[in-house]
Structure 1
Amino acid sequence: MDSFGKSKKLEISHMKWQLHFDMVGLCVSPYFMPPQAQTLYPDSMCVVVQTGPSNLSIDNFATSTHQDLKTDIQIKGTYTTGENVAIWNGRKLVVYEITGDKSTIRAAGTFSTESTICCLYEQNVYTIEQGKVQVRTFQGTVKQLISFTEVEGQPVTLEVCSVGTENGIIKLYDLSRREAKQIGTAKNMTDVISHFGGFVSLRCNCAGNKVSLCIKKPNGSTDSKLYIWDTELDTLQYFNFETGKGEQDDFAPGTMESDQETAEERGKNQAARDIAGRFPISHFWDPLETKLLVCETKSLPNQQSKLNQSISLTSSMSRATLEQPPEMMIVSLFVTPENGVLIQDSFSMKKSHSSMLGMQVPYYYFARKAEDTDKADANAALDESMNRPQTTAAPSFTSKAVSRRTMRDFIGLEDADKNARDAMMNFSFYLTIGNMDEAFKAIKLIRSESVWENMAKMCVKTRRLDVATVCLGNMGHARGAKALRESVAEPELDARVACLAVQLDLHEDAVRPLKNCKRYDLLNDFYQSNGQWGKAMETAEMYDRVHLRTTYYNYGKHLETKGDVNGAIPNYEKSETHRFEVPRMLFDDTQMLENYIVKNKDKQLRKWWAQYMESAGEMETALQFYEAAADYLSLVRVYCYCGNLDKAAEICNETGDRAACYHLARQYENNNEIKQAIHFFTRAQAYGNAIRLCKENEYEDQLMNLALVSSPVHMIEAARYYENKHDGMDKAVMLYHKGGNFAKALDLAFQSRQLGALQHIAEDLTDTTDPELLQRCADFFMENGQFDKAVDLLAVGKKYIEALKLCHQHQVPMTEELVEKLTPAKGVAENETDERNKILEGIAEVCMNQRQYHLATKKFTQAGNKMKAMKSLLKSGDTEKIIFFAGVSRQKEIYVMAANYLQSLDWRKDPEIMKNIIGFYTKGRALDSLSGFYDACAMVEVDEYQNYDKALGALTEAYKCLTKAKMKNQTQQEEKLAALKTRITLMKKFVTARRAYDEDKDEAVKACQVLLEEPELDSAVRVGDVFGFMIEHYAKKEHWKAAYACMEEMRAKIPKVNLGYYVNMRTIEQVHSALQIPLGRGTGAEINGFQAGSPGDEETGEEVEEDVIDDFADD
């Protein structure tokens, strides 16, 4: 109860609205009524506001009267009908009567009740007690009880013409008779709202055919949708404040492309974005207009947290230009069954207002905050909450507790008659739904310029520029019509809307669309034109940096116009125009200007001030400022003017400033001090003047040095001078050469027989040089035996054939650089291409003769002769490049040539070479050669590794390749195939016998014996290997005589055979030892070329025998 201590500092937190018609709505709040309450009865414009625990403030705007009421109870709720006021505290209800002249208030009745929500209608009081609605007289006599079934639930919301229960049932009642009578059937909201959690509030329109309801979700939070029940059509519509769209437009975002939107759709979408992210907290119908509904909305908690987070991450500079959405907004809606629920207007509620009380065309009513009530005055009572200027005077009546705001569409029509108001309401409605024909019909009789101006302002909100054009015409607003017509050049609709808003002085409405379309250049111009320089500079700094300097400049001009010189200077500096603007601005105050220049330390400004002082004859001051500005030319100029040439020379020598040195040199030349003049002309790099003086005064020692560092023009000029000197021919040749006049240089060199100079000049000759001159030089070098120089010049002159003949005749080394010089550029014509190829082949032939095989290969390739290129490469022996060239050439002959070359290498030790040989023969379709290579592989496997398995595989591949080959000599091919087949058969028998040895040894030996009888055995299988196999077998069986017999037979068949090559030496020794036969007995007893047991060679023979045995053991 401490909160009631100060009666004028209490917050208003709840209100009720009493409609004027013969049907009363009953409303029970589902929450406890707060200690403060307020009620507005719109028909009589009577407002009752609680200002203290027991105090009421009663204001009647119709009669402009104010009364204060002190009650005997602490007030928890109040209700008024304009003629009566009811108050209650949960235990007692008191009814007061306001007299007809509105000057006196007296008690009309009192009774005890625990109801916390009550309504008045005529002489009846409606309360909710014990789950029923009770109808009482002012003295408390119960006249009627309205009961509800258990299925319907107990009533929890009560409003004129409607009752809502805890189970979601809504009932309407007719109070025009003696007793309240239900109208129609009840509506169960749980059937049509899936997430229904309970009623927050109900409101009925003046016709009783529409009921707006605010509900809560099952989790207790308020639903962002406001629902409207049409009792006649029994339909339910809604408006979603979270998206800012009605049911007819509440589709998922992004389903429509912005490029496809019409102007009307774009305006609707922008209006939706302005109010999105909110939920309703109260709603009111107009007491006379059945389709006009207004809502007080608040930002959703999650939207506010996102906004705070984005602001916290935004720099302080951009926060000034960031438009923060207001927490509380008022949104007015048109509700129709045909067009759905549409936005009529929206604006933010001022922070000085605590809540909305209601509306009645043409006003909205608001309750002031307690701390704001003492600040109200007569001039601000109506206009304080409006965002735009009023066009009519405010009424004289002022209320400290209540404020009202004129509706956007009715500015200028506050005192108009009913017909004018109806016409404007119809215009607003038709404009909202987009029916322009009906909109203009509704206002065709209105002639007031203020009304047309108001309608033009409406077009800013609705973005209907076509309508705005008509309104501006009827207003006679020529400037606005012209600006709107010119704004068509702007591609963005929002930019054109902002132009209209500016012409109508709707500054806030101009800022928002410019930010939406990101036209910060126009926003910057608007802020400048409106005098909001802080925002203009912040906008330029953050978003419009291209106009940042212009903004600072304009602000500086603005401050200069106001006389704020000190404020203008920094802005001129930021715009980088201070070097001109500040001297202009301070020109009449020389002392202040000098102080600024000294303090600023800008060289250009100091130079300007020095020039000004010089023009005023203040030479010493001018010199000081010239020196501070580092303007050495002006320093030297002034010192020369004052006759102090020594000081000027000192400055030139110290700084080396070219302009200063040139000026001083001219002074010395005028004074006939030639050496000093030449020196400073040289420092100034004015070599032409220095050379001129040297020639005029015959300073030849300096002339040559100056000419060499000067331009070609001056070199040629000096060369002409030396050409006329009998001892200056060498210098003339050099200067003509350096100056680019090669013809003259060569001519003089030939005349004076300067061979060294000719060599230097020849190095710089190009194909643009005169061909005769090139030929002359080449002939000169040939006469002097310098054939390499002659070849170079012939190549430069594109005489390639002659150059090649010279290279061939005199063996001029073919370097890569020379070869490239001799290579002609690619021609377009066919004859040019043929000629070029001949020259390339000539270059290659010369390279071949000089064993420059790689260069020859390159040139043959460029000439398209890949065969010769391959032959050159083969001579080089570069295996890697041969393999690469064969791979990229993709010619059969080249593949075969590469394979033949690789076969000449030691391919047995390099598997990669063997792989390339097979690949190249295959790609070259040389299957007969590939067959021969496989045959060679088979022989290697037999001779070196005794691997008959691999040898058999190689022979088989050779047979396959030869079968596929297409030899010109078919007879020879058939003979080779027959021979291969025989060899394969014999080798296969031997391999089979060796493989079968483990299973049937005797049968394997018999197969070998049969094999030895083959007459052509040695062409496929070495006879020694067959005998060796049999000897090893007999030795293992210890059939020594059979083994020795095989050895003897082997010696007979293979004279001078080396037994150790086919049979293990240990086996041989064992056989001889078992039969007690000396090791050296018999023919072919030599082992590894030595006679076994020969006198004097015992030690050597033993060593060799050991080596052979080791070798076989390794095998």
Structure 2
Amino acid sequence: MTTTLSLDEGLGFEKGETLNCVSYCAAKDIIAAGTGRGRIAMWQRVSSLSLGEEAQGQWKLQTPTEFEGNITQLQWGSSLNLLAANGVSTVLILCEHVMSAHFSQQVAAVQLTPSQLSLHNFGSGSQLSLRCDSHVKGVCVTKDTVAVWNGKQVTVYELSGTALRSAGSFPCESQALAMYEENIYTVEPNRVQVRTLQGTVKQLLVFSEVEGNPVLLSVCGSFLAVGTDTAHFKLFDLSRREAKPHCSAKNLSEVASNVGALLSVKCNANGSQVSILVAQVSGRPDHKVYFYDVEMDTVSHFDFFTGRPPSGVSQAEDPESGPSQNAELRGRCPISQFWDESEPRLFACETVRTADPRRSSLPDGLGEVEVLVVSFFCTQEHGLLLQDSYLKPAGMQALLALDVPFYYFSCKPGEGEADSEEPPGPAPAPAPQSSAPPGPQASGPPMVSRRAFRDFVGLEECDKPTRDAMLNFSFYLTIGDMDEAFKSIKLIKSEAVWENMARMCVKSRRLDVARVCLGNMGHARGARALREAEVEPELEARVAVLATQLGMLEDAERLYKSCRRYDLLNKLYQASGQWQRAVETAETHDRVHLRTTYYGYAKHLEATGDRNMALVYYEKSDTYRFEVPRMLLEDVLSLEIYVNKMKDKSLYKWWAQYLESQSDMESALRYYEYAQDFLSLVRVHCYLGNIQKAAEIANETGNRAASYHLARQYESQEEIKQSVHFYTRAQAYNNAIRLCKENGLDDQLMNLALLSNPEDMMEAACYYEEKGTHMDRAVMLYHKAGHFSKALELAFSTQQFAALQLIAEDLDESSDPALLARCSDFFIKHSQYQKAVEMLVAAKKYHEALQLCLDQSLTITEELAESMTVSRDSKDLPEDARKELLEKIADCCMRQGNYHLATKKYTQAGSKLKAMRALLKSGDTEKIVFFAGVSRQKEIYIMAANYLQSLDWRKDPEIMKNIIGFYTKGRALDLLAGFYEACAQVEIDDYQNYEKALGALTEAYKCLAKAKMRSAEEQEGRLAELQHRITLVKRFVQARRVYEEDPGEAVRLCDTLLEEADLDPAVRIGDAYGFLVEHHCQQGSYQVAHRKLEEMLKRLPSVNVSYYVSQRSLEALQLAMGVALGGTRGPPGGRSDRRDSGGEEDEVEEDEALEAHQGD
């Protein structure tokens, strides 16, 4: 990008002044140029982050540096970035340093040139210019005194009204200087000197070697803050005749990390707080401001890098406004700090963004970067509280001080009251001395400007009580103590004060306080707007409404943007006349209101006379079809050109109507055709008598409105057929029907009636009925029109049975019951029983429908059953009748073998036992188990268990589990005992597993003992019998168990057992004999074994011996005895040998199942 730089006469250059040489310093981003008249012009590149990218190439011209002669050459050099200037007779080296400035007690001093100062007394309003006889390195002022020093000499002036008088001068090489009343404070190694105005040392404030050398001095109120080169600081009380230490020296590096050198040490007006800016060990400025509480002896800090204090420092923060404030303060670095001279709670500092590379050290020119002035309340109880923050005003160079109700800034000549933004310029030195003598000179333009606090806008001249009340109100509002806030202002009656407090509420976002302020202001419009804004969900949007009412449009804009309420921002721009910004907002963020914004802008442009742009925005808002003709109506030629250019049908139609109103029918017809407005074409042709042409257009286009208009024309000319035709095309069937009835067109009447609505159908049906002909058409039309009763009456009276069947298909339960009954009778007569049943059900004659199903053996489907089921909340049947009907439906289903449906209906009727019986008949085991589980009735549990016993429960453990569970839940312990006995018998008969049989019998005994049988004697008899069986089984089990250890004892026990008369079925005789035969065969006593076998055969003549004695033992016995053994009959009950291939596996499965269920 190419930029042309030129000189400005307003800054002191002359017209026609030429540039001789140019030199650029990349480190400082400065272009220096020498002129033919002894001036050096400097342009500083602007790199403010608040500017857009295009501003990166902008350069700002500085105030010129002047000396005698023509400048022929300029060159930057050395590590200090010095500028060498070659004149006609001299060579000068210029260095850059920050202009000195100081403010105290309403007096400000600002350096203009290396040897000239501008003094401004805000108390008296006077302004003086002081020219010194040496280069000024620093300046310090009080209410009556000005001290200037150059690093070697201190000169003191007394200020009296509009005059300056030299009060003394003395040599001093102090690098820092401060004043309080009649004392001057200077530094030297390890001490601070307290001098008189004439330089006499009257007291020494000594610092130890550890504390270091004083390098920083600052006075506020009656307290002196001193900072040393070893990061120590100390506070002195100056209110007495001699300075006294107010607190001992503190080493900041001991309580804070990464502390290098101290850059600034300041104290507040009552000496309770000390604030410190430091450089890090690396030399870069720290992002933190440190605060030392003198009374509590604690150090805290605020970190501008994060935008918030650490957890140890309290901060009143609105949960909704806090995040945005933190974001505003985040990523910054403090560069200067100030305490209010009279208000000890008020602290302010200047901050810059850390992104700028020049901020690695304190910037020389602060106007070029985005500087944010931040003020805080700082108290011991509440810590650090953000009071306000705003960008440094345009044209201001640096903050000098704050003294309620003003901030004081240094500025360039002429910019004190202007809004122009110019960066500060360097002060080159040395420069040729002017011939004017040192001392006061005529005043020039002001170099110091003051800006009111946010809370004191409009109250700049208020008295001290009002000022204190406003400060207290602001403080209590910040900490959220509304009671104290209102107490502090209860006596204030000034409307300006209340307006100021309302403005405060915009910053603090306290709408509750704002309502009180608006009420005291009498601002009815604002109060109403604030009340209406309560519907907005975002706090920022409600606060923005308040800001708008108070005229704080920039704040309102910022608030709307922060909460992303671009719709309200759009309205704000429109209301304030910022239409271009409103359009941009609508296009980028508020597209919902884009058209309305375009329309509003177009109306605004039309009102201001800019018709061309208004036309553009009417088009964008899509309202041009009616707004542009209205706007251009007085300029018919322009309007015609616009209509032809746009080629829009709506515009064509509007223009055609306009031409028709002007009786230009031919042109109107042409534009109606362009607009494809066929109704208007037909209308105009009819008006002109071209009815044939109109008929062609209506037939070709099929336009209903055009056809209707043409039908009316034909009707007026009594051309009935043409009129009916076009009424039909227009779908105006009632008019066509009317003409057909009036003119006896019965054939067309039927077709038209079927196409029309029910009312027209009824009218046509009445017509046919009245004529007495085509009764079938009348019935059909009544049916189609939904008048079933009339259609049925007519069908019955005229014996139209085919039509009757069609009508019956559309009848439902909402139809007249009497009609439904007649239809059912009709269907019964014609043996259409299914349809008759449907009619009876629709008529709610459920019992007749059921009887018909039974008489005619009609299957009751689930759909039919549901249609006969009356809901619980129905008023057609009482509850008893409803249940009775359901049971009858279920009974009918039972007769037809539809057990599942019967179960459902019995259940709906509440007859669960009947439902269970129906379900048992179905044999659906899964549903039986489920139904028993959900019914939770004793009888149903027992029925389910009894049913499950009829199944093959021996092979299905789940069935056995359910049997035991159902008997237990049904409390049928006697039946459960019987089931356990059956289990025991299965174990004996099928598997000869007497151990498991013994367990099952034991469970049976337990159950039977707990059972409550009707007959106690019967229960005792069963228990005795069961106990005897258990004893016998237990003895046989004992014999088998002791066999391994004592076979003889086992044989004796078995022999004794065989002597029992009622041994079988508790212990099968065959099993006992088989045990003995096996034993004797193993012992080789084949004679005894054969004898026992013979005894068994005598007691069990029909048994198969191999079922009880192993084949191997039989073969050994046959071989030993030489006789044939083994019967041909099978075991009792047809059971197979337990020793076959599958016996063991089945036995294991059964055993596991039984154990599981016994466990349950």
Normalising by the residue count of structure 1, what TM-score does the alignment of the two structures yield? 0.76
Q: Are the counterparts in 2 of residues 280 and 295 from structure 1 also a CA contact under 8 Å?
A: no
Instruction: Quote the RMSD (CA, aligned, Å).
Output: 5.3
Q: Which amino acid aligns with 1:941?
A: E
2:243 aligned counterpart, secondary structure? strand
Aligned counterpart for 1:357 among listed residues 373, 394, 400: 400
User: Where is the helix percentage greater, Structure 1 or Structure 2?
Assistant: 1
How far residue 667 of structure 1 moved from its aligned partner, in angstroms, is 4.0
Q: Tell me the residue number matched to 2:278.
A: 216
Structure 1 residues 1054, 632: closer, same or farther in 2, change over 3 A? farther
Matches within 5 A, 1:425-436: 425=467, 428-429=470-471, 432=474
Structure 1 residues 65, 824: closer, same or farther in 2, change over 3 A? closer
**Partners of 1:66 and 1:45 in 2: how far apart?**
13
Q: Are the counterparts in 2 of residues 246 and 342 from structure 1 also a CA contact under 8 Å?
A: no
Q: Which amino acid aligns with 1:251?
A: S
Unmatched runs of 5 consecutive residues or more in structure 2: 1-23, 34-39, 46-94, 358-368, 422-441, 476-483, 1147-1160
2:416 aligned counterpart, secondary structure? coil
Tell me whether 1:297 sits opposite 2:361 in the alignment. no
Tell me whether 1:732 sits opposite 2:791 in the alignment. no
1:1010 aligned counterpart, secondary structure? helix
Structure 1 residues 300, 675: closer, same or farther in 2, change over 3 A? same
Tell me whether 1:168 sits opposite 2:222 in the alignment. no
Q: Are the counterparts in 2 of residues 408 and 458 from structure 1 also a CA contact under 8 Å?
A: yes
Aligned counterpart for 1:850 among listed residues 896, 907, 928: 896
Q: Tell me the residue number matched to 1:483.
A: 525
How far residue 1073 of structure 1 moved from its aligned partner, in angstroms, is 2.8
Q: Percent identity?
A: 47
Tell me whether 1:382 sits opposite 2:444 in the alignment. no
**Partners of 1:455 and 1:980 in 2: how far apart?**
102
Matches within 5 A, 1:122-521: 127-133=186-192, 147-150=206-209, 152-160=211-219, 161-165=224-228, 166=230, 168-172=232-236, 181-183=242-244, 186-189=247-250, 194-195=255-256, 199-203=262-266, 213-216=275-278, 222=286, 224-225=288-289, 227=291, 251=314, 281-284=335-338, 289=342, 295-298=348-351, 301=354, 327-330=370-373, 347-358=390-401, 364-368=407-411, 373=412, 377=414, 380-384=415-419, 399=445, 402-405=448-451, 425=467, 428-429=470-471, 432=474, 481-484=523-526, 486-487=528-529, 489-490=531-532, 505-509=551-555, 511=557
Aligned counterpart for 1:611 among listed residues 657, 672, 675: 657
What does the per-residue CA deviation read over 1:411-433, in whole Å, with 9 as the maximum and x for residues that have no partner? 7898x8xxx76566456546546
Matches within 5 A, 1:53-64: 56=116, 58=118, 64=127
Q: Tell me the residue number matched to 1:560.
A: 606
**Partners of 1:572 and 1:799 in 2: how far apart?**
70
2:1064 aligned counterpart, secondary structure? helix
Q: Tell me the residue number matched to 1:38.
A: 100
Q: Tell me the residue number matched to 1:1003.
A: 1049
Matches within 5 A, 1:854-933: 854-933=900-979
Q: Are the counterparts in 1 of residues 396 and 416 from structure 2 also a CA contact under 8 Å?
A: no
Q: Which amino acid aligns with 1:954?
A: A
2:236 aligned counterpart, secondary structure? strand
**Partners of 1:334 and 1:1040 in 2: how far apart?**
120
Q: Are the counterparts in 2 of residues 246 and 340 from structure 1 also a CA contact under 8 Å?
A: no
Q: Tell me the residue number matched to 1:944.
A: 990
Q: Are the counterparts in 2 of residues 226 and 238 from structure 1 also a CA contact under 8 Å?
A: yes
**Partners of 2:972 and 2:381 in 1: how far apart?**
91
**Partners of 1:741 and 1:173 in 2: how far apart?**
109
Q: Are the counterparts in 2 of residues 158 and 202 from structure 1 also a CA contact under 8 Å?
A: yes
Say which is worse superposed, 433-442 or 727-736, in terms of deviation: 433-442
> Aligned residues, how many?
1003
Tell me whether 1:660 sits opposite 2:674 in the alignment. no
Q: Are the counterparts in 1 of residues 176 and 187 from structure 2 also a CA contact under 8 Å?
A: yes
**Partners of 1:737 and 1:606 in 2: how far apart?**
49
Q: Are the counterparts in 1 of residues 900 and 918 from structure 2 also a CA contact under 8 Å?
A: yes
**Partners of 1:234 and 1:1032 in 2: how far apart?**
106
1:907 aligned counterpart, secondary structure? coil
**Partners of 1:175 and 1:864 in 2: how far apart?**
102
What does the per-residue CA deviation read over 1:638-687, in whole Å, with 9 as the maximum and x for residues that have no partner? 45445555665555555544333433444444455555544443343333
Q: Are the counterparts in 1 of residues 188 and 214 from structure 2 also a CA contact under 8 Å?
A: no
Q: Are the counterparts in 2 of residues 171 and 182 from structure 1 also a CA contact under 8 Å?
A: no
Unmatched runs of 5 consecutive residues or more in structure 1: 13-32, 259-265, 306-325, 387-395, 473-479, 1090-1103
Say which is worse superposed, 773-782 or 129-138, in terms of deviation: 129-138
Q: Which amino acid aligns with 1:281?
A: I
How far residue 140 of structure 1 moved from its aligned partner, in angstroms, is 9.4
Structure 1 residues 791, 87: closer, same or farther in 2, change over 3 A? same
1:187 aligned counterpart, secondary structure? strand
**Partners of 2:732 and 2:159 in 1: how far apart?**
110
Structure 1 residues 365, 850: closer, same or farther in 2, change over 3 A? closer
Matches within 5 A, 1:537-936: 537=583, 549-598=595-644, 600=646, 602-619=648-665, 621-642=667-688, 648=694, 652=698, 655-670=701-716, 674-723=720-769, 728-826=774-872, 832-936=878-982
Q: Are the counterparts in 1 of residues 262 and 279 from structure 2 also a CA contact under 8 Å?
A: no
Aligned counterpart for 2:1128 among listed residues 1082, 1086, 1089: 1086
How far residue 707 of structure 1 moved from its aligned partner, in angstroms, is 3.2
How far residue 346 of structure 1 moved from its aligned partner, in angstroms, is 5.8
Structure 1 residues 1027, 1000: closer, same or farther in 2, change over 3 A? same
Q: Tell me the residue number matched to 1:1034.
A: 1080
Structure 1 residues 47, 662: closer, same or farther in 2, change over 3 A? same
**Partners of 2:102 and 2:41 in 1: how far apart?**
19
**Partners of 2:777 and 2:1063 in 1: how far apart?**
93
**Partners of 1:519 and 1:290 in 2: how far apart?**
39
2:951 aligned counterpart, secondary structure? coil
Structure 1 residues 599, 87: closer, same or farther in 2, change over 3 A? farther
What does the per-residue CA deviation read over 1:799-838, in whole Å, with 9 as the maximum and x for residues that have no partner? 2333333333332332223323333343678982122222
1:908 aligned counterpart, secondary structure? coil
**Partners of 1:915 and 1:470 in 2: how far apart?**
83
Structure 1 residues 353, 335: closer, same or farther in 2, change over 3 A? same
Q: Which amino acid aligns with 1:905?
A: L
Say which is worse superposed, 705-714 or 453-462, in terms of deviation: 453-462
What does the per-residue CA deviation read over 1:106-153, in whole Å, with 9 as the maximum and x for residues that have no partner? 99978684x533457899976433334457899999887654333543
What does the per-residue CA deviation read over 1:862-881, in whole Å, with 9 as the maximum and x for residues that have no partner? 22222222222222222222
How far residue 270 of structure 1 moved from its aligned partner, in angstroms, is 11
Q: Which amino acid aligns with 1:39?
A: A
**Partners of 1:895 and 1:68 in 2: how far apart?**
119
Structure 1 residues 574, 1030: closer, same or farther in 2, change over 3 A? farther
Structure 1 residues 408, 855: closer, same or farther in 2, change over 3 A? closer
Q: Which amino acid aligns with 1:826?
A: R
Structure 1 residues 744, 235: closer, same or farther in 2, change over 3 A? same
How far residue 366 of structure 1 moved from its aligned partner, in angstroms, is 2.6
How far residue 333 of structure 1 moved from its aligned partner, in angstroms, is 7.2
How far residue 895 of structure 1 moved from its aligned partner, in angstroms, is 1.9
Q: Tell me the residue number matched to 1:261.
A: none
What does the per-residue CA deviation read over 1:1021-1040, in whole Å, with 9 as the maximum and x for residues that have no partner? 22222223333333333433
Say which is worse superposed, 196-205 or 937-946, in terms of deviation: 196-205
How far residue 729 of structure 1 moved from its aligned partner, in angstroms, is 3.1
